[in-house]
Structure 1
């Protein structure tokens, strides 16, 4: 069963932990607690009918958005198969900061140039509700 590492990146408070919690267990917490360093959780997706023995596991990494944890980034970003760049739609500065987060990811995650062409990246605007 293949495992894919997905890192969720963005400024502090944009909702990275909430997105992960909602996806994994369909729950939302109104309390805020900053992620320290990084944390990950796994979710196994059922196999499609066309390949019943081919389920996959997502390893979703929730990274800290605070600058003081940036020195740990290379350890958390290493080996990522995909990245979700997240911002808060009510805080435009978090959108503008995505360039910095993406540049830091490319700098600290040893993804070869030829692999970057097929690397999956999604930009997610959160707090639309």
Structure 2
């Protein structure tokens, strides 16, 4: 069974673990507990083009604290895709994605000629009904 390794990258507290938990189990927790190093979970999915086969999706949730950055090379290596996440309520987490992406490219490693075909998605997180009301009132 083929495996797809997806790494979720971004600053501490942007919601990487919450997104992963919500996708895998449909649960959400309001409690915050920082990821130490990295954690991964797998989910078996139907193969997109071969109905009789499955694919294992490994979602690697990486720590956002700077003190764990030395461990990231091991977690980034062999990644098939990257999800760069920021908190829409903290603009500095969006600007920090430039640094996160550079670190990922260096430690994955990902060469310039691989970039055109590489799957990387940027996700703004933490917009919910309450935050949306605050955002709308501050922009009017």
How high is the TM-score relative to the length of structure 1?
A: 0.95
1:53-82 CA distances to partner (integer Å, 9 max, x unpaired)? 222111000000000000001000000000
Q: CA deviation at 1:37?
A: 0.2
**Once superposed, what is the RMSD of the aligned Cα atoms?**
1.1
Moved over 4 A (4+): none
Q: CA deviation at 1:30?
A: 0.7
Does the 8 A contact of 2:12 with 2:65 survive in 1? yes
Does the 8 A contact of 2:105 with 2:111 survive in 1? no
Structure 1: gaps of 5 or more residues: none
1:23-74 CA distances to partner (integer Å, 9 max, x unpaired)? 00010011000000000000111245x6222221110000000000000010
> Of Structure 1 and Structure 2, which has the larger fraction of its residues in helix?
2
Secondary structure of 1:117's match?
Answer: helix
Structure 2: gaps of 5 or more residues: 129-140
User: Match of 1:61?
Assistant: 60
Whether 1:96 and 2:75 are equivalent positions in the alignment is: no
Q: Highest CA radius of gyration, 1 or 2?
A: 2
Whether 1:28 and 2:28 are equivalent positions in the alignment is: yes
User: Match of 1:72?
Assistant: 71
For 1:7-18, list aligned pairs within 5 A: 7-18=7-18
Higher relative CO (Cα under 8 Å, sequence separation at least 6) belongs to 1
Instruction: Give the length in aligned residue pairs.
Output: 128
Instruction: Tell me which moved more, 108-117 or 34-43.
Output: 108-117
Counterpart-to-counterpart distance in 2, 1:5 and 1:47: 15
How high is the TM-score relative to the length of structure 2?
A: 0.87
